[in-house]
Structure 1
Amino acid sequence: MSLISSSGIAHARLTVTDIERSKAFYEHVFGWPVVIDASDRAGEPGVHDSPEQFYGGTVYRTPSGELFGLRPVAPAGQRFDSAQTGLDHVSFQVEAREDLVTARQRLAAAEISHGEVIDLPDSGLSILSFSDPDGIHLELTAPLA
């Protein structure tokens, strides 16, 4: 028996170096609605450490209802490293493999560096990888069938 019964992920928040640059990227790529935006206060005293002020960040609502946030507290110039303890990547689900092909074309047109669509038959998934402006690894995942 597990210690905790959870129905899934409620939200995820990424630490970013430049909130305006990150907001522009995520809004361009995903276009999710903003539910909280405290980024105009990011540089004010105390906001950087205040969960009540969302650390001066921005929170989006994904189509499936989870929240996805950006927290602007990383030092300028710092880059993400998936080989360190912590986050490896964040994967966002799309409905079909064809959506990955379309996304690849759109990322290319937007000059966003990306990988190829890869089929993973053992898991029943197809994936497409790319990164945000801080180098955080992102992935789109679709059912293979």
Structure 2
Amino acid sequence: MSEPIARPTALAHVRVTVTDIARSKAFYQQLLGADPVIDFSDQVDEPGIREDRERFYGGCVFQLGDQVFGLRPVAPAGQRFDPDTVGLDHVSFAVGSVDELHQAATRLDAAGIEHGEVTELGQAGMTILSVQDPDDINLEFAALSS
């Protein structure tokens, strides 16, 4: 085996492309229980912002521990995510325990947000809870199985 080009220790960030930044930002604020730490979404309709990397393309960024998760509002209205094309399949957020997954399912129910069942993935050694974001991007919360 050859020497790796780099030795990453974790993902630094993930950014997903969304169609409606206001709708997606509100969804992720509710889902993650946090406000963005960087937010240019109020400028999204200004000329040139969707091409401006320094203003995060008119998007926003959430802090998740040592990593960040961002939203980039450049997809055409009406476009839907397709996990069966080249690119992203899903985003998985780590949580501390299987109990937290059950608590999250209860909170999703209370918020009226459809979601999957808390499911143990035996061979993988983890348990997951799936939910779709407003653009139909599959998200999961994952905990190591006990």
Give TM class, smaller chain: over 0.9
The answer on 1:30 being equivalent to 2:32 is: yes
List per-residue Cα deviations over 1:101-138 (Å, max 9, x = no partner).
11111111111111111111211100111111110000
Secondary structure at the counterpart of residue 124 of structure 2 = coil
> Which position in structure 2 is the counterpart of 1:106?
107
The answer on 1:88 being equivalent to 2:92 is: no
> Which position in structure 2 is the counterpart of 1:11?
13
CA distance in 2, matches of 1:27, 1:52: 22
Q: CA deviation at 1:7?
A: 1.8
List per-residue Cα deviations over 1:68-103 (Å, max 9, x = no partner).
110111111111111111000000011111111111
The one-letter code of the counterpart of 1:81 is D
Secondary structure at the counterpart of residue 9 of structure 1 = coil
Q: Which shows bigger deviation, 50-59 or 30-39?
A: 30-39
Q: CA deviation at 1:32?
A: 2.7
Secondary structure at the counterpart of residue 54 of structure 2 = helix
Q: How many residues align structurally?
A: 144
> Which position in structure 2 is the counterpart of 1:53?
55
Q: Tell me which stretches of 4 or more aligned residues in structure 1 moved more than 6 Å.
A: none
Taking structure 1 as the reference length, the TM-score comes to: 0.96
Cα-Cα RMSD: 0.9
Identity rate, percent: 51
Give 5+ residue unaligned stretches, structure 2: none
CA distance in 1, matches of 2:125, 2:135: 30
Secondary structure at the counterpart of residue 37 of structure 2 = strand
The one-letter code of the counterpart of 2:74 is V
The answer on 1:44 being equivalent to 2:38 is: no
> Which position in structure 1 is the counterpart of 2:75?
74
